[in-house]
Structure 1
Amino acid sequence: MRKAVVAEEESEIFRECDLDDKFRKPRSESKERILENFRTKCSSRKHCWGLIKSRLPIVDWLPRYSLKRDAFGDVTAGLTVGVVHIPQGLAYAQLASLPPVVGLYVSSFPVLMYPIFGTSKHISMGTFAIVSVIVSSVLTQHVPSDYCGPYTSSTTFSPISRAHFSTGYTTMSIPANTTTADTDCLQKYDNRMIEVCSALSLCVGLVQIFVELIRNISDTNIATLIVSILCVTFLMIGKTINERYKAKLRIPIPWELFLVAISTSLSYLLELHAKYDVDAVGIVPSAIALSAPNGGDVVALFFDSIPVAIASFAIAISLCRMYAIKHSYNIDSNQEFLALGMCNILGSFFSCYPCGPALSRSSINDGVGVKSQLGSYLSSIVVAVVLLWMGPLFEALPQAALAAIIIVNIRHVTMYWKKVPHLWRISRLDAVTWIVACFAVISSSVSVGLVTGVGFSILTVLIRMRRAPGISLRKVLAGGVYRNTKKYHTLSNKDLLIYQFTGPLFFGNKDRFNDSLIGHLGYDPVKLNLRREAEDDIDSPSEQIRETSSIEEQNLNTSDLSQNRVDIPMITKRNTALLPTPYRVVILDMVRCSFTDSDGARTLTGVCVALQGLGLAVMIVSCTDHVKSSLKASWENVDDVIFVSLESAIKYSNLETLRT
């Protein structure tokens, strides 16, 4: 075992290898412990039961369910959310370019799977505006233009089933290889892109609406226009009341349900469809349309289902975490992905389009006081009752009322452009991402815009990593605080250069690392070392002998200070006299370098070898385990220059200076 460097006053560890020799746990023990834990979990009934509960959360919470404690909140929330499902399902189905009855299917059947696999008590699965917009753009590419007819059969719904099954498969394929960190990273970029794309899609839709309005203004149906204005005004007043008296209202007033009831009644009594040609929902089938997914089309729809899956993922995880933090319970991100996938797969057999959680319904669950996932079953039962026995009551419902529900409920999304100046002040790259997503949506579609926005966000991360700057550090205070010399007044130390690279070192930024270090040194150590070696090759043998003997004398004079020390190349006047800068010690601070690849490791070790060849003392400090392993694979003697911390490297260099 290599001993630590012994100073004159006290014994202290400087190098990382000395720290590893003394305190690092043997790797064999870690592997054996992992295998032992695996064998214990596989053979223990307790751990197997825990695995079952983690994949089927209903097995965990249902035995602990208390009728006295939880039933009232679940029943109230289930009935209330079920009532809200009805107008939203009818409206959002038309937003997805589908018959209104499909929205009732989505609000009923996929919801049955979430309590079995889901871990959140508060989110409400069903129809969702943003997913409906994306589904609409996907279906227009695969479904005939006369798709949404007044009569619907299971054969007609088969494209939805195939798209829905593909979305469910996409949802389930992610958790197997997804960690919590990956989920966080995915969610961070997807939430912004979903809001941007949905806002822009609505804005683009408004532009197209205005163009068509001007083109066909002479064909305007005055009765439909009046119904639309009245419905929007009614809902705006109701939403304003809910927002103003939010603190006093235990649950939001379901104005959408009142609008559906009032508009349907007036449309039936006044015969708006027959007398004034106001479009109504029409025949609502009371039967359930069953359809089996066609596996042959899953591949064709797989890539189109990815934006739908991304949107559902991001919104679901955001809502789950929000309510989990508020009510102090835990959720499993991967399990939520699995639950969403199972909901979608079940819905594919009942002619549904992809489902997702809605903030409005989830907030009702929270306001009413839902206690468990059982409320989702009750809301599904309410929608199923309406679907099976009350469907004919909605035949006179004006489609203008459903359009008003859509416009009012997603009006806040169209205001996202107001956040762009604030986004610009926080991060200009994020603001540029918004603009890129804008042009992608305008020029193509919502799905392409979402994928483009997410891809550009990942590209900005790579750009930030590639443009990571290198800075020079010096001491600001006597207490060991080091800061950037360009931003702080620092204490002078002309013999020491502390260089810190502020990002990972890989093939994309290795040249930037090299150029930045050259800029701080004032010369290229690799080229200068090669030139020195070429000059030494043409020196006379007598000069080489004199230089060798002088170096040996210096080594003999300093050998008594530390017998067990592995020598760093000696700092001699002959080696450093002709250098463009007076630095005699170079410390490379890698505390902010999270990883390095083979190219980055070769670049770093090449610079270190070149600096040592010029007679400078080189030290690398604060390396992560990944960086250390990469450097060891690239340079055999790297253990001699890797130090525990910046302070230990500086203290060691001071001792070396005293010895020389």
Structure 2
Amino acid sequence: MSLESKEQHDLSPRDSAEGNDSLPSGVLLKPQKESSTDLKQFETNGQHRPYPRIHVEPQEKSHTNIKQFVIKKLQKNCQCSPTKWLPKYDLKKNILGDVMSGLIVGILLVPQSIAYSLLAGQEPIYGLYTSFFASIIYFIFGTSHHISVGIFGVLCLMIGEVVDRELHKAGSDFAPSLEMILNRSTLVNHTLDRTCDKSCYAIKVGSTVTFMAGVYQVAMGFFQVGFVSVYLSDALLSGFVTGASFTILTSQAKYLLGLSLPRSNGVGSFITTWMHIFRNIHKTNLCDLITSLLCLLVLLPTKELNERFKSKLKAPIPTELIVVVAATLASHFGKLNENYNSSIAEHIPTGFMPPQAPDWNLIPSVAVDAIAISIIGFAITVSLSEMFAKKHGYTVKANQEMYAIGFCNIIPSFFHCITTSAALAKTLVKESTGCQTQLSAVVTALVLLLVLLIIAPLFYSLQKCVLGVITIVNLRGALCKFRDVPKMWRVSRMDTVIWFVTMLSSALISTEIGLLVGVCFSMFCVILRTQKPKISLLGLVEETEIFESMSAYKNLQTKPGIKIFRFVAPLYYINKECFRSALYKKTLNPILVKAAQKKAAKRKLKEEMVTLSGIQDEVSMQLSHDPLELHTVVIDCSAIQFLDTAGIHTLKEVRRDYEAIGIQVLLAQCNPSVRDSLARGEYSKKEEENFFSIQKGICVLMV
């Protein structure tokens, strides 16, 4: 066997495919022994030595029915987490941090749960129910040690929009039965009248949406479609939350001013709400306005102090609870509702309402709305759980997290609750106060249970403007994302554009449409990036085997007659023309050269000179450099992730065009996927055309 054929055999795709992971020098893989007769026969025929045949026996297919498959799937992916870590719980090491963080998060959740329930168009008691049940259920099913699951502002906003829409459809003639019951101190011993008032219908809608969102999340966990979250990039989620924060701020502005305005929904609700506010600004309740300003003056500086000195403080100052207690006392003893007509929370009952199934008749109306709510809920929960798991050195199961957050919605939907998810602000507080395990969630639930059973009626005189201020102050983190825009612009301009498009569409159009616009625009940007990829000619770094872009680095070496072209993107139908035109521009345009050669042959036959103009002048310029000096074009395929039919067809056309003028085309560093596509597309009959590396390919060419 000649040296050249031996080298070409060593560089064949089968060698590179089977030896893709490079071995240390000197390591030789010995195949099974073959008979000397077979070896002599192959050497006589001038053929390469064949690879040993490998016989693999396929596994028998298991015959399991659907019921067994579902049970096996649930047993594998849906487990009770405390059974794994609770027996190993280090009491001395972890108990203090868990109890402290649970108490503090519980104290913070009380005013936030009451405030966010108004955002969802519900009575305050339902926000407390939601946070209580979510804490207990996530403790049972969750795999993250640190995240805090409970009521979340953005989801409450989305729930509130659905509730208002359904209330508008149903009309406003509701019987006052529930309102009469809510004026009593406990709900446990009373039987609800069959008629349903506005508040009753609102929680029916909210719990039905919550049930459907939970069903979607459990289904996504069962079918392992967590990949959906990859379409929600960090820039998209950040822009969506910021845009939704503007909508939340707008919806709470009427409480700060003490205005009684109808809630605007649908497209353009942001602008419509502000128009209503400015038209009714003369009706502002001065008592509510002054209370709002005082609360802002207290909450904003203390929130900033908590942020700046969180490393020195053993626990954050529970300013929200202090403000709620002080405002409630001031409203009660000052009789602000009676004297100044200030809007108050009114009676919050103790105990738990009897369980009630979601309204199945509402499912067709809210099923589509629940899709967006479920995706946002699990995307935020999974991203936060993975972030804190990576920070603290443990792992979480994404599918188990989807089950956990799904059950946090399905089960509570039977107990008059609304949709929940993890929340960054409360999770940061939980982590910074010493949380070690989800046992802290049980402590949080006990704090909420104490409020539900005993303390809740004491918030009767709490002004709604105070709850609005608490909601707005908690948007501070999302609104401060504007500070990160310059840095984001320097890192990635495309991500910055995605952030702005998602933020503006979520704020100015609607939250659901804003999310859809953000996802579509983000996917369009991905396509745009592959349509206009980075393209360069490569040169060899001196005294190395490394090839780099000649436009990026100086003093790179080139081999005479060889051009190395790199295309940094998949080659498919969208960018095939970009690939072809860039290759011809960077190396040599074979179509123009071929046309010029034909015209030159005609001139020689006719023995007359023809002046070429336009494109022909360009051809003359190329011919003046003697295009035949270029004999090989090497295409570096290391950055081409995949090929489609159009991409393979383009490579065939390019090779045919170059071969027509005597230039060969070689493909280098093709990954297994590309090699597979080339083989299926019958690109090449000669295996040696696809070199394992650029350097080896050039070495063979120089022999």
| Counterparts in 2 of 1:223 and 1:179: CA distance versus 1, 3 Å | closer
TM-score scaled by length of structure 1: 0.82
In structure 1, the residue matched to 2:699 is: 651
Please report how far the alpha carbon of residue 103 of structure 1 lies from its aligned counterpart in structure 2 after TM superposition. 0.9
Are positions 1:509 and 2:575 aligned together? yes
In structure 2, the residue matched to 1:17 is: 14
Partner Cα distance (2:61, 2:92) in 1: 40
Are positions 1:134 and 2:182 aligned together? no
Q: Deviations over 1:600-636 (max 9, x none)?
A: 1222233224434543232111111111111101115
Correspondence for 1:381 among 429, 436, 446: 446
Please report how far the alpha carbon of residue 263 of structure 1 lies from its aligned counterpart in structure 2 after TM superposition. 1.1
Q: Deviations over 1:103-127 (max 9, x none)?
A: 1111111222212221111111111
Q: Deviations over 1:513-538 (max 9, x none)?
A: 11212222332459949998xx9xxx
In structure 1, the residue matched to 2:111 is: 87
Correspondence for 1:109 among 130, 133, 136: 133
| Counterparts in 2 of 1:473 and 1:49: CA distance versus 1, 3 Å | closer
Please report how far the alpha carbon of residue 505 of structure 1 lies from its aligned counterpart in structure 2 after TM superposition. 0.8
SS in 1 for 2:411: helix
Alignment of structure 1 residues 470-549 onto 2, 5 Å: 470-489=535-554, 490-524=556-590, 528=594
Alignment of structure 1 residues 93-492 onto 2, 5 Å: 93-144=117-168, 155-178=201-224, 183-184=229-230, 186-202=232-248, 211-286=275-350, 287-288=352-353, 290-489=355-554, 490-492=556-558
Partner Cα distance (1:189, 1:29) in 2: 49
Percent identity reads 28
Are the aligned partners of 1:267 and 1:396 in contact in 2 as well (CA < 8 Å)? yes
Please report how far the alpha carbon of residue 352 of structure 1 lies from its aligned counterpart in structure 2 after TM superposition. 1.4
Please report how far the alpha carbon of residue 309 of structure 1 lies from its aligned counterpart in structure 2 after TM superposition. 2.4
| Counterparts in 2 of 1:471 and 1:27: CA distance versus 1, 3 Å | farther
Please report how far the alpha carbon of residue 492 of structure 1 lies from its aligned counterpart in structure 2 after TM superposition. 4.3
| Counterparts in 2 of 1:203 and 1:436: CA distance versus 1, 3 Å | farther
Partner Cα distance (2:651, 2:595) in 1: 15
In structure 2, the residue matched to 1:618 is: 665
Moved more, 93-102 or 421-430: 421-430
SS in 2 for 1:113: helix
In structure 1, the residue matched to 2:68 is: none
In structure 2, the residue matched to 1:43 is: none
Please report how far the alpha carbon of residue 359 of structure 1 lies from its aligned counterpart in structure 2 after TM superposition. 2.5
Partner Cα distance (2:428, 2:521) in 1: 32
Partner Cα distance (1:508, 1:50) in 2: 41
| Counterparts in 2 of 1:87 and 1:37: CA distance versus 1, 3 Å | farther
| Counterparts in 2 of 1:458 and 1:11: CA distance versus 1, 3 Å | closer
Q: Return 5+ residue gaps in structure 2 as ranges.
A: 22-30, 32-50, 64-71, 183-196, 254-269, 606-622
Are the aligned partners of 1:137 and 1:447 in contact in 2 as well (CA < 8 Å)? no
Please report how far the alpha carbon of residue 244 of structure 1 lies from its aligned counterpart in structure 2 after TM superposition. 3.8
Are the aligned partners of 2:154 and 2:245 in contact in 1 as well (CA < 8 Å)? no
RMSD of the TM alignment (CA)?
3.6
Instruction: Give the counterpart letter for 1:13 in structure 2.
Output: D
Are the aligned partners of 1:157 and 1:291 in contact in 2 as well (CA < 8 Å)? no
Partner Cα distance (1:459, 1:493) in 2: 39
| Counterparts in 2 of 1:529 and 1:167: CA distance versus 1, 3 Å | farther
Please report how far the alpha carbon of residue 190 of structure 1 lies from its aligned counterpart in structure 2 after TM superposition. 4.1
Q: Return 5+ residue gaps in structure 1 as ranges.
A: 40-47, 540-575, 656-660
Q: Deviations over 1:305-361 (max 9, x none)?
A: 233223323322332233223322211222212211111111211121111122232
Instruction: Give the counterpart letter for 1:248 in structure 2.
Output: K
Are the aligned partners of 1:200 and 1:438 in contact in 2 as well (CA < 8 Å)? no
In structure 1, the residue matched to 2:685 is: 637
Please report how far the alpha carbon of residue 216 of structure 1 lies from its aligned counterpart in structure 2 after TM superposition. 2.1
Instruction: Give the counterpart letter for 1:499 in structure 2.
Output: F
Are the aligned partners of 1:529 and 1:611 in contact in 2 as well (CA < 8 Å)? no
Partner Cα distance (2:233, 2:397) in 1: 14
Q: Deviations over 1:625-652 (max 9, x none)?
A: 1111111011151523111111111111
Are the aligned partners of 1:96 and 1:136 in contact in 2 as well (CA < 8 Å)? yes
Partner Cα distance (1:442, 1:367) in 2: 32
| Counterparts in 2 of 1:179 and 1:650: CA distance versus 1, 3 Å | farther
Partner Cα distance (1:173, 1:20) in 2: 38
Are the aligned partners of 1:525 and 1:607 in contact in 2 as well (CA < 8 Å)? no
Partner Cα distance (1:106, 1:650) in 2: 67
Partner Cα distance (1:200, 1:638) in 2: 62
Please report how far the alpha carbon of residue 425 of structure 1 lies from its aligned counterpart in structure 2 after TM superposition. 2.6
Are the aligned partners of 2:561 and 2:632 in contact in 1 as well (CA < 8 Å)? yes
Partner Cα distance (1:309, 1:530) in 2: 63
Partner Cα distance (2:202, 2:583) in 1: 66
Partner Cα distance (2:86, 2:237) in 1: 32
In structure 1, the residue matched to 2:639 is: 592
Q: Deviations over 1:66-86 (max 9, x none)?
A: 444433333333232222211
Partner Cα distance (2:524, 2:20) in 1: 40
Q: Deviations over 1:146-192 (max 9, x none)?
A: 69995576554211121111211222233345577765554535433
| Counterparts in 2 of 1:389 and 1:526: CA distance versus 1, 3 Å | farther
Partner Cα distance (1:457, 1:609) in 2: 37
Instruction: Give the counterpart letter for 1:623 in structure 2.
Output: C
Instruction: Give the counterpart letter for 2:218 in structure 1.
Output: M
Please report how far the alpha carbon of residue 53 of structure 1 lies from its aligned counterpart in structure 2 after TM superposition. 7.8
| Counterparts in 2 of 1:31 and 1:396: CA distance versus 1, 3 Å | farther
Are the aligned partners of 1:343 and 1:355 in contact in 2 as well (CA < 8 Å)? yes
SS in 2 for 1:143: helix
Are the aligned partners of 1:131 and 1:308 in contact in 2 as well (CA < 8 Å)? yes
Partner Cα distance (1:460, 1:390) in 2: 52
Please report how far the alpha carbon of residue 289 of structure 1 lies from its aligned counterpart in structure 2 after TM superposition. 5.3
| Counterparts in 2 of 1:446 and 1:31: CA distance versus 1, 3 Å | farther
Are positions 1:628 and 2:675 aligned together? yes
Partner Cα distance (2:52, 2:165) in 1: 55
Please report how far the alpha carbon of residue 227 of structure 1 lies from its aligned counterpart in structure 2 after TM superposition. 1.2
Partner Cα distance (1:294, 1:378) in 2: 32
Partner Cα distance (2:416, 2:579) in 1: 56
TM-score scaled by length of structure 2: 0.77
Partner Cα distance (2:244, 2:694) in 1: 49
Please report how far the alpha carbon of residue 89 of structure 1 lies from its aligned counterpart in structure 2 after TM superposition. 0.1
Are the aligned partners of 2:236 and 2:499 in contact in 1 as well (CA < 8 Å)? no
| Counterparts in 2 of 1:180 and 1:37: CA distance versus 1, 3 Å | farther
Are the aligned partners of 1:521 and 1:581 in contact in 2 as well (CA < 8 Å)? no
Partner Cα distance (1:274, 1:252) in 2: 35
| Counterparts in 2 of 1:242 and 1:488: CA distance versus 1, 3 Å | closer
